[in-house]
Amino acid sequence: MSGPDDLHHHTSPDGPADDDPASVNPASVNPGDLAFWAKPWEERVAVFAELRRADRPVLFPEPEMPWMEAFGFQRGNGHYALVRHADVAEASRRPEVFCSSRGTIAGTLDPPPEFMEYFGSMITMDDPRHARLRRIVSRAFTARVVARITDAIDAAAVRIIEDFRPKGGGDFVAEVAGRLPLKIICDLMGVPPERHDRVFELSNLIVGSFDPEYMPDLAELGPSVIAAGEELRQMVHEIAAQRAERPADDLTSVLTHANVEGESLTDAEIGSFFILLIVAGNETTRNAIAHGLDLLTRHPGQRALWTSDFERLAPTAVEEIVRYASPVNLMRRTVTRDYELGGQWFKDGDKVLMYYCSANRDETVFDDPDTFDITRDPNPHLGFGAPGPHFCLGAHLARQEITVMFRELFRRLPDIRTTAPPERLESNFINGIKHLECAF
């Protein structure tokens, strides 16, 4: 174990010095780099297993992303990979040391201010600002509120599946998995139905901005992502202006009229929160549902088990889908002071990425972590983040959407199955499936 005296040792821009603790060579394998995420799943799983065996978190150099730098993103000294369950959990419950308000959430390069204007909401804040916003919006996402909109979620799922039925198959993501979270989050915010498809395109563009399907020319990345943010912001401003005059039963009305300790939200705060919700609500749940169908197709025994007693097994099955798929690969934190974690001394300004995908396969916490087991219990996975102030605000909603979708699929299209391997999103941040062919 190292001590504070040799801090310099672990923050060298060249990466770890002579006593590199893992046999993974940070100069050739770097999970901070997009190229790493293009590798086959098994290869990535093996790298994380190796990193978990190391005696402390490994420092990886800053990836080469010239198109991000052209847009004003700043390079630093690379990032430490937090890969063990215990390390991710500890960093998440110590926000005063591992803070969220310096840098972005999804990568290691630090963004320019104009980016943060659109994409810097509660997820990139620390207390007290974070707590204030979270208090205002959390009322909309309690288990009780989600229970109240259960009928709406049921009805939406039935409609989506029945619209798909005559087609006999096709792209499960576009036709089914992506539809439910989109409709629910847009209805919650009061976005009119004729604009839902546009919201879907814009959120794809924001989260898929490294993927050539959504961003053919990386030189356009900065301006396109900002333009998408601006369009979403305009959309919520229009809705908010209407709600200011005539409140409706939606979250935009709550946000427009919110008053916490004499303060209300600014237009800019409402705008960036809307963008966060659209992205966080859509790009995660749809991937959980798509991974779910892929997993259940590849594990027919688990599928047969679940359908034999759906309601009883739904709670553990849904948690296992989220653990196994880890729809959000990672979140970033920045260190605020000297602190020892997992055998490594950190200092002010060090960047860490918390790899949920690795914590969720930690063999010291999960028996047979690479086995997909819908009865796994307990299942203390970190797919929604670890306990702490930023734990996923939409976890109740996401669980309900996943449950309802599989209940209705098993009922209405009982033989639905994938017919090709998933077409994966090119992203370090989201474990996304862009397209998934299915038949029934």
The first and second tokens of residue 369, run together, are 């972590």
Q: Report DSSP state, residue 63.
A: P
Beta bridge partners of 334: 99, 351
Stretch that binds ligand HEM, among 75-83, 170-178, 197-205, 275-283 (CB under 6 A): 275-283
Site string for ligand HEM, 172-191 (x = CB under 6 A): ---------x---x------
Q: In angstroms, what is the minimal distance from the CB of 25 to ligand HEM?
A: 28
Question: Which one, 52 or 291, has the nearer CB to ligand HEM?
Answer: 291
E strand or H helix at 278, and its extent? helix 267-282
Q: Report DSSP state, residue 220.
A: G
Contact with ligand HEM (CB under 6 A) among 209, 284, 336, 360:
284
Cis link prior to 111 (omega < 30° from 0)?
Answer: no
Stretch that binds ligand HEM, among 165-173, 223-231, 276-284, 428-436 (CB under 6 A): 276-284
Q: Which of 192, 203, 190, 200 is nearest to 252 (CA)?
A: 190
Is the CB of residue 313 less than 8 Å from the CB of residue 374?
Answer: yes
Site string for ligand HEM, 1-40 (x = CB under 6 A): ----------------------------------------
Does the protein bind ligand HEM through residue 276 (CB under 6 A)?
A: yes
Q: How crowded is residue 13: how many other Cβ atoms within 10 Å of its Cβ?
A: 11
Site for ligand HEM in 362-391 (CB under 6 A): 383-385, 388, 390-391
Question: Which one, 392 or 439, has the nearer CB to ligand HEM?
Answer: 392
Stretch that binds ligand HEM, among 40-48, 172-180, 307-315, 320-328 (CB under 6 A): 320-328
- The angle at the Cα of 156, spanning 404 to 379, to the nearest 5 degrees, equals 25
Residue written as token pair 């097994």: 313
Q: In angstroms, what is the minimal distance from the CB of 334 to ligand HEM?
A: 13
Q: How crowded is residue 141: how many other Cβ atoms within 10 Å of its Cβ?
A: 20
Residue type (1 letter), 64:
E
- Going from the C-alpha of 255 to that of each of 123, 135, 278, the distances in angstroms are 17, 11, 15
Count interface residues toward ligand HEM (CB under 6 A).
Answer: 29
Q: In angstroms, what is the minimal distance from the CB of 6 to ligand HEM?
A: 30
Does the protein bind ligand HEM through residue 397 (CB under 6 A)?
A: yes
Question: Which one, 386 or 438, has the nearer CB to ligand HEM?
Answer: 386
Question: Which one, 82 or 393, has the nearer CB to ligand HEM?
Answer: 393
For ligand HEM, the nearest residue by Cβ is 394
Q: In angstroms, what is the minimal distance from the CB of 276 to ligand HEM?
A: 5
Q: In angstroms, what is the minimal distance from the CB of 359 to ligand HEM?
A: 11
Site string for ligand HEM, 326-355 (x = CB under 6 A): -xx--x------------------------
Distance CA(202)–CA(186), nearest Å, equals 13
Q: In angstroms, what is the minimal distance from the CB of 181 to ligand HEM?
A: 6
Contact with ligand HEM (CB under 6 A) among 277, 335, 430, 436:
277
- Going from the C-alpha of 356 to that of each of 244, 280, 322, 346, 431, the distances in angstroms are 40, 16, 11, 20, 11
Site for ligand HEM in 117-176 (CB under 6 A): 122-123, 134
Q: In angstroms, what is the minimal distance from the CB of 16 to ligand HEM?
A: 26
Does the protein bind ligand HEM through residue 92 (CB under 6 A)?
A: yes
Q: Which of 283, 302, 300 is nearest to 173 (CA)?
A: 283
Q: In angstroms, what is the minimal distance from the CB of 419 to ligand HEM?
A: 24
Does the protein bind ligand HEM through residue 280 (CB under 6 A)?
A: yes
375 phi, psi to nearest 5 deg: -100, 5
Question: Which one, 22 or 199, has the nearer CB to ligand HEM?
Answer: 199
Question: Which one, 283 or 426, has the nearer CB to ligand HEM?
Answer: 283
The first and second tokens of residue 120, run together, are 């810097």
- Going from the C-alpha of 404 to that of each of 70, 166, 299, the distances in angstroms are 44, 21, 20
Does the protein bind ligand HEM through residue 392 (CB under 6 A)?
A: yes
187 phi, psi to nearest 5 deg: -65, -40
For every residue of 146-201, DSSP letters joined together read HHHTHHHHHHHHHHHHHHHGGG-EEEHIIIIITHHHHHHHHHHHT--GGGHHHHHH
Beta bridge partners of 179: none
SS3 of residue 3 by DSSP:
coil
Cis link prior to 57 (omega < 30° from 0)?
Answer: no
Q: In angstroms, what is the minimal distance from the CB of 93 to ligand HEM?
A: 9
Site residues (CB under 6 A) for ligand HEM? 92, 122-123, 134, 181, 185, 276-277, 280-281, 284-285, 288, 322, 327-328, 331, 356, 383-385, 388, 390-394, 397-398
